Amino acid sequence: MEFLQPADLREVLETKAAHPEAVPIFGGTDVMVDLNFDRERPGAVLDLTRVPEIREWSRKDRRLRVGAGVTYTRAITELGGLLPGLAMASRTVGSPQIRNRGTIGGNLGSASPAGDALPPLYASDAGIEVASVRGVRMVPVEEFITGPRTNALRPDELITAFMIPEARGPQQYAKIGPRNAMVIAVCSLGLALHPESRAVGACIGSAGPTPIRPHEAEGFIEGVIEEHGLWESRSEIPASALERFGALVAEAAKPIDDVRGTASYRRHAVGVLARRTLTWAWDEYRRDAG
Amino acid sequence: MTQAPIRERAVTPDGIGESVGRPDGVPKVKGEFEYSSDLHVDGMLWGATLRSPHPHASIHSIDTSETGTMTGVFAVLTHEDVPGRKVYGMEIPDQPVLAWEKVRYQGEAVALVAADHPETARRALEKIRVDYEVLDPVTDAEAAMAEDAPRLHLSGNVLRRVDVGHGDPGATAEVVVEGEYEVGMQDQAFLGPESGLAIPHGEGGVDLYISTQWLHVDQDQVAESLGLPPEMVRLTLSGVGGAFGGREDLSMQIHACMLALHTSRPVKMVYGREESFYGHVHRHPAKMRYEHGATRDGQLVYVRANLLFDGGAYASSSNAVCLNAATFACGPYDVPNAQIESHMLYTNNPPCGAMRGFGAVQVCFAHEAQMDKLAEKLGMDSVEIRMKNAIEPGMKFPFGQEVPYPAPVREILERVRAMPLPQERESMGRDLRELPGGVSNTTHGEGVRRGVGYAVGFKNIGFSAGFDDYSTARVSLSVEDGKPVARVLTAAAEVGQGLVMVQAQIARTELGVENVVVETADTRIGSAGSTSASRQTYVTGAAVKEACEKVRERVFDLAREEFGESDGLAIEDGNVVSDGLVVAPLAEVLGDAEISETVEFHHRATHPLDENGQGDAHLQFAFAAHRAVVEVDTELGLARVVEVATAQDVGKIINPLALEGQIEGGIAQGLGLALMEEIQIDDGRIQNASFTDYLIPTILDMPPVKIEILELADPEAPYGLKGVGEPPTIASTPAIVAALRDATDRDLARIPVRPEHIVGLEVKP
Amino acid sequence: MKLRLLVNGEPREADIWEGESLLYVLRERMGLFGSKNACEQGECGSCSVYLGGTLVCACLVLAGQAGGSEVVTVEGLSEQGRMHPVQEAFLEAGAVQCGFCTPGLIMATHDLLARNPGPTEAEVREALAGNLCRCTGYEKILAAVQTAAERTGT
């Protein structure tokens, strides 16, 4: 096994081009489990932790460019105000030890449908910045994750960052697990209100082969809000509409039975989470009026 | 609080009854304590095990030719290389040391390698070619009972059956409740994985440094399979990272010794977490059908129960579990008529055996659910119905044994009921960490309902049913650096519970000396029996106590020789005293003498059950009652335990802090079984052999515990004490599930309770 | 490959196989067995160490990733053989039974108190959620952390 440790972005892209089979590693929370459990023996491992460019984040025109190597801990402490949904999701990841090492780029790279960082990215239409010696391209997150544990990366490419608008409205993330900490999501839900664009973004986690945007549910609730002029009045969303939103989200899920939960429970639970997270986000939106 | 007066004496500092610190505490907090996985000697090799990927298969051939030539590989061994008995097992030697002809569960050991690095060993295992013919597995106990089921062992698929018949088998009652209950397969999930170091000692034998619960039963089995006399296989206890029953059977002991003897090099074996799930036995899954009959005023008339346990592929301690379950099936209640059938079956699932609570856990979940059902049907309070039927000393258990004093079932129920309930708080707007779902942010108070549940359970302490249960202790007293020092040697396994501390406390109390050294347990001395059945403080404690008493008598003999006849001799504060007056400092009395006494303590004989399941089977009974308060998000099925209150009779508190630790830790394991812990098996294959998917409670799952202790001395036991390790794990589970039922109005007849059960969704079978 | 680390203030080096974790190197190459190997996947926290001042699970760090960095293990907490107040508190509170989780919990507590000298009970629970203990039921661990906080806080 070869251990490759480039020191900057240019070098890391060249290394990846020269060793397309090399497995990138940052926090190791997935790669090391595969190594320790003898599931994978890659010919080469490419350490990204020494590349300063991917550990940085920056803000311009109310949009953020967040390096793939930003850890969950930093997402909470540094980005909590700008990306509250992502910060809430990050708080549900593992333990302090895991959050100190694990990165959002790692979630994108692993492309597990249970990745906690993914629903908030979907709910805010994040774009994934992918780079190689051939150049940089931007892929919408919904296109980037292509299936369970597969993504749109080409062999010579690395995830360098994601681009996301900073929150302009309330955001929520909720996740089901059979214990009160340290769980992989049985299912989850990310939700973001975008009052300026008069949109509601939602994303189901861990109840389908990839995270799922419930487009019909989003359209439905956006319609209800428009119809009643709620963006302006900030009145309550009618209970029946909240119920319907939950039901439509549940319908959009494509869950399976597995060791962590049953399909029927997952479908049920994402519906409940959708209703609750929308209620909480909307309550916050109403409070923010004053 | 009553205690059998042993003799009048001054209180010895750090003696029994005090929260004495652990002698192994300092190295443990400094990271210097040596666990078996930390062992290391120059030139050692790493052993690794090839395991069957199939739950049931015939083995046509094993080809190791490719492995043998690999660089860094020093040995490749199969069943052909087992020098002695090719099978092992504590009760029935039915498990192959290394499989031949057949494998009967996924993960069964097939071959071994020793190599210079763990990675070399893993790559070497890959090169071993095993020609398997896959067979249909028998995947549950009911299937194993079928007439046309494949016979997994020559003896058939019935591993054990125990019937208990008591009173009138045709008894009828005014009120009847029935129920079917199921318990999933729980894992001990000790944190320190199986590991050990075997070093050839040069005379054809081997020294094994090992974490285990019972050195001598390991020694016997290892020696038998190595074809060596036991004295050629010397075992020394290494640091044990928890046990809970999971280290009673052998794991890598014989394997490491075989590799060491074959290579003439030290060999270390350490299981990873995944391998650990295949490397030890688990708690038996159970299916239990119950029928309770009672009068209209709630007096039990009869209990009928059919208990079905999945023993897995090999016997382990299933025999004893089956008997325990049969004897505890009715709970600690006065049941005039009982018909109990307890069945233990072989299957192609992972072998099951000892785990904390040992057969009492499964039936307690069922009988306590039945008691609640009965109370509900009668419109009675759930504590009242238990108190009304509580057994008392002098009554007879359904298995015919007289209930000995003390049996304070009513008192402990009263105590838990009387403890103030935690204040009910508004759930909306609370800190997430104080809500079901925790930081995962699933509720801000919506759907949260509180429930309260009670349960009481009991269990035998010590080995039962005619087993000659004993422990050996050697206590020496001499002067070192001018001070009297007592040394205690036993083969009893310290597994975390604090036995090393208890032994020192007993020696201090009995010998009145401050300095006590508890030596590392090994097989230089006779057996101490197993660290299981909550028995060590009782049995090894008694052996240490008696050895101390003999040493003390010899000190008095010396004192009389030197200082003349004197009355009322005692050792206090480092002095030999006569009627309270100092005769001489103990060091002076001892001089150059080393006084050493070895005692084998055998507890009162127990007896096997007769063909009707009747007999004085058990030594001692320990009782604990629990009250659980839970909060349930009824819409999502997520639960948070708010508090567990418990009352337990311990006879005599030996070490208050350690006692609380046993109770709190035992409750945590009971909570785990109630809410999350299950090895999930699909078609004979474990689906969750990792800590990512086999979940045990975290600190965010564990509630505060309120404890009340009763000290009703058992007149037969040393200091009147009772074993304390297991009772906390028994009734805590049904109390939590009862609280969930209270909050949700659902049946919840299976544990662990899953969110889908709480919300009432169809669950696949 | 050759690996150089600064471990508990001392420069150390070892020849390693590239696939070894930092935990394996600390234990098997450097003889520092205080960090425990219990799950190999970051679920139990028994291998918690500081890497460059950050609390991590050593089992999830590929050894090469730590090259040139400073590592502090549980063995590095005592000074001149004197126990750290967190270690003393664990002893006194009865927070140690089998002790396999203890080094990791002590490291995690040390880290928590460095970030938050006066944590609430809920904060303690959240901070230690990644350190599994199978023996104690955590009650005595909570008590130990509170004691340590009182002694180390201002």
**CATH code at A227?**
3.30.390.50
Q: What is the mean pLDDT of chain B?
A: 96
**Percent with pLDDT over 90 in chain A:** 99
Same domain assignment for residues A256 and A156: no
**In the predicted model, is pLDDT for residue B268 greater than 90?**
yes
- Contact criterion met (CB below 8 Å) for C61 and C78: no
Contacts of A37 in chain B (CB under 8 A): 272, 274, 690
A240 touches chain B (CB under 8 A): no
Is B440's CB within 8 Å of A183's CB? yes
pLDDT in tens, B93-106: 999 999 999 999 99
Is C87's CB within 8 Å of B702's CB? no
- Kindly list the strands in the beta sheet with B300-312, ordered across the sheet, starting from the edge strand earlier in the chain: B158-166, B337-346, B300-312, B286-294, B175-183, B750-751
Same domain assignment for residues A189 and A161: no
Q: Does B493 reside within a domain?
A: yes
Q: With bands split at pLDDT 50, 70 and 90, how would you rate the model's confidence at B671?
A: very high
- Contact criterion met (CB below 8 Å) for A83 and A167: yes
**Long-range pairs, B559-563, Cβ under 8 A, ≥24:** B559/B583, B559/B584, B559/B589, B562/B589, B563/B589
Q: What is the mean pLDDT of chain C?
A: 97
Contacts of B38 in chain C (CB under 8 A): 27, 33
B761 touches chain A (CB under 8 A): yes
pLDDT in tens, B117-134: 999 999 999 999 999 999
Same domain assignment for residues C89 and C70: no
Contacts of C43 in chain A (CB under 8 A): 182
Is B636's CB within 8 Å of A280's CB? no
| Closest Cβ–Cβ partner in B433, B701, B756 for A179 | B701
Q: With bands split at pLDDT 50, 70 and 90, how would you rate the model's confidence at B580?
A: confident
For residue B564, the tally of other CB atoms under 10 A from its CB is: 9
A110 touches chain C (CB under 8 A): no
Same domain assignment for residues A38 and A121: yes
- Kindly identify which residue of chain A lies nearest to residue C66, measuring between CA atoms: A49
Which chains reach chain B with 3 or more Cβ–Cβ distances below 8 angstroms?
Answer: A, C
Instruction: Give residue B170's Cα distance to chain centre.
Output: 37
Which letter, b or e, does each residue of A110-139 get, where b requires 16 or more Cβ atoms within 10 Å of its Cβ? bbbbbbbbbbbbbbbbbbbbbbbeeeeeeb
Same domain assignment for residues A191 and A241: yes
State the smallest CA–CA distance between residue B453 and chain A in angstroms.
20
Token duo for residue B272:
């990873």
Same domain assignment for residues A112 and A235: no
Same domain assignment for residues A95 and A189: no
Is A97's CB within 8 Å of C67's CB? no
Same domain assignment for residues B503 and B579: yes
Is B636's CB within 8 Å of A269's CB? yes
**In the predicted model, is pLDDT for residue B765 greater than 50?**
no
Q: Which domain holds residue A181?
A: 171-288
Is C41's CB within 8 Å of B28's CB? no
Q: Does B560 reside within a domain?
A: yes
**In the predicted model, is pLDDT for residue B1 greater than 80?**
no
pLDDT in tens, B145-190: 999 999 999 999 999 999 999 999 999 999 999 999 999 999 999 9
What's the CA gap between B268 and B193, in Å, rounded? Answer: 13
Same domain assignment for residues A32 and A159: yes
pLDDT in tens, C13-44: 999 999 999 999 999 999 999 999 999 999 99
Which one of C73, C135, C145 would you mutate to disrupt binding with B, by most B Cβ within 10 Å of its Cβ? C135
Which letter, b or e, does each residue of B103-139 get, where b requires 16 or more Cβ atoms within 10 Å of its Cβ? bbbbbbbbbbbbbbebbbbbbbbebbebebeebebbb
Which positions 265-324 of B are in contact with A (Cβ < 8 Å)?
Answer: 272, 274
**In the predicted model, is pLDDT for residue B599 greater than 60?**
yes
Contacts of C19 in chain B (CB under 8 A): 119
pLDDT in tens, C130-139: 999 999 999 9
Q: Which of A143, A165, A187 is the last residue of a domain?
A: A165
| Closest Cβ–Cβ partner in B190, B272, B433 for C40 | B272
Same domain assignment for residues B622 and B650: yes
Same domain assignment for residues A93 and A73: yes
**In the predicted model, is pLDDT for residue B2 greater than 50?**
no
Same domain assignment for residues B80 and B49: yes
Same domain assignment for residues B475 and B573: yes
Q: Which of C32, C54, C74 is the last residue of a domain?
A: C74
| Closest Cβ–Cβ partner in A3, A32, A180 for C60 | A32
B429 touches chain A (CB under 8 A): no
Is B691's CB within 8 Å of C74's CB? no
Is A181's CB within 8 Å of B443's CB? no
B40 touches chain A (CB under 8 A): no
Per-residue pLDDT, B564: 87
Same domain assignment for residues B544 and B664: no
**In the predicted model, is pLDDT for residue B8 greater than 90?**
no
Give the number of beta-carbon pairs within 8 Å between A and B: 102
Same domain assignment for residues A186 and A140: no
Which positions 638-667 of B are in contact with C (Cβ < 8 Å)?
Answer: 657-658, 660-661, 663-667
**In the predicted model, is pLDDT for residue B3 greater than 50?**
no
| Closest Cβ–Cβ partner in B34, B191, B498 for C38 | B191
State the smallest CA–CA distance between residue B147 and chain C in angstroms.
41
| Closest Cβ–Cβ partner in B28, B119, B498 for C17 | B119
As beta bridge partners, residue B133 has B58
The number of domains in chain C is: 2
What's the CA gap between B749 and B366, in Å, rounded? Answer: 8
Which chains reach chain C with 3 or more Cβ–Cβ distances below 8 angstroms?
Answer: A, B
Same domain assignment for residues A133 and A185: no
| Closest Cβ–Cβ partner in A38, A178, A276 for B755 | A178
Q: For chain A, list residues with pLDDT below 50.
A: none
State the smallest CA–CA distance between residue A259 and chain B in angstroms.
7
Per-residue pLDDT, A222: 98
Which positions 76-105 of A are in contact with C (Cβ < 8 Å)?
Answer: 94-98, 100-101
Helices A239-252 and A215-227, axial angle in degrees (round to 10) = 160
Q: Which domain holds residue C91?
A: 85-152
Is A257's CB within 8 Å of B764's CB? yes
pLDDT in tens, B534-568: 999 999 999 999 999 999 999 999 999 999 878 88
What's the CA gap between B655 and B323, in Å, rounded? Answer: 31
| Closest Cβ–Cβ partner in C17, C90, C129 for B117 | C17
- Kindly identify which residue of chain B lies nearest to residue C84, measuring between CA atoms: B30
Same domain assignment for residues B425 and B550: no
B172 touches chain A (CB under 8 A): no
| Closest Cβ–Cβ partner in B436, B440, B764 for A174 | B440
The number of domains in chain B is: 3
Q: Which domain holds residue B109?
A: 36-136+193-279
- Alpha-helical regions (H) of chain A: 9-18, 31-36, 72-77, 84-91, 96-101, 104-110, 118-123, 141-144, 215-227, 230-233, 239-252, 263-288
Q: Does C19 reside within a domain?
A: yes
Is A25's CB within 8 Å of C65's CB? yes
Per-residue pLDDT, A191: 98
Contacts of C133 in chain A (CB under 8 A): none
Which secondary structure element, helix H or strand E, spans residue B179, and what is its range? strand B175-183
Is A176's CB within 8 Å of B440's CB? yes
- For residue B597, give the CATH number of its domain: 3.30.365.10
Same domain assignment for residues A186 and A240: yes
**Percent with pLDDT over 70 in chain C:** 99
**In the predicted model, is pLDDT for residue B316 greater than 70?**
yes
State the smallest CA–CA distance between residue C6 and chain A in angstroms.
17
Is B239's CB within 8 Å of C99's CB? yes
Q: Which of A165, A186, A208 is the last residue of a domain?
A: A165
User: At residue B222, what are phi and psi to the nearest 5 degrees?
Assistant: -65, -45
- Length of chain C as a residue count: 154
Q: Does C79 reside within a domain?
A: no
**In the predicted model, is pLDDT for residue B647 greater than 90?**
yes
The number of domains in chain A is: 2
pLDDT in tens, B336-366: 999 999 999 999 999 999 999 999 999 999 9
Same domain assignment for residues C145 and C126: yes
Contacts of B660 in chain C (CB under 8 A): 94, 139-140
State the smallest CA–CA distance between residue B458 and chain A in angstroms.
28
pLDDT in tens, A68-106: 999 999 999 999 999 999 999 999 999 999 999 999 999
Give every CB contact of residue B262 below 8 A, 6+ residues apart in sequence.
Answer: B75, B77, B81, B114
Same domain assignment for residues B413 and B522: no
Is C19's CB within 8 Å of B270's CB? no
Which one of A180, A182, A270 would you mutate to disrupt binding with B, by most B Cβ within 10 Å of its Cβ? A180
Which positions 68-107 of C are in contact with A (Cβ < 8 Å)?
Answer: none
What's the CA gap between C146 and C154, in Å, rounded? Answer: 13
3-class secondary structure per residue, B676-694: CCCECEECCEECCCCCCCC
Is A36's CB within 8 Å of C41's CB? yes
- Contact criterion met (CB below 8 Å) for B301 and B337: yes
What's the CA gap between B285 and B249, in Å, rounded? Answer: 18
What's the CA gap between B672 and B192, in Å, rounded? Answer: 18
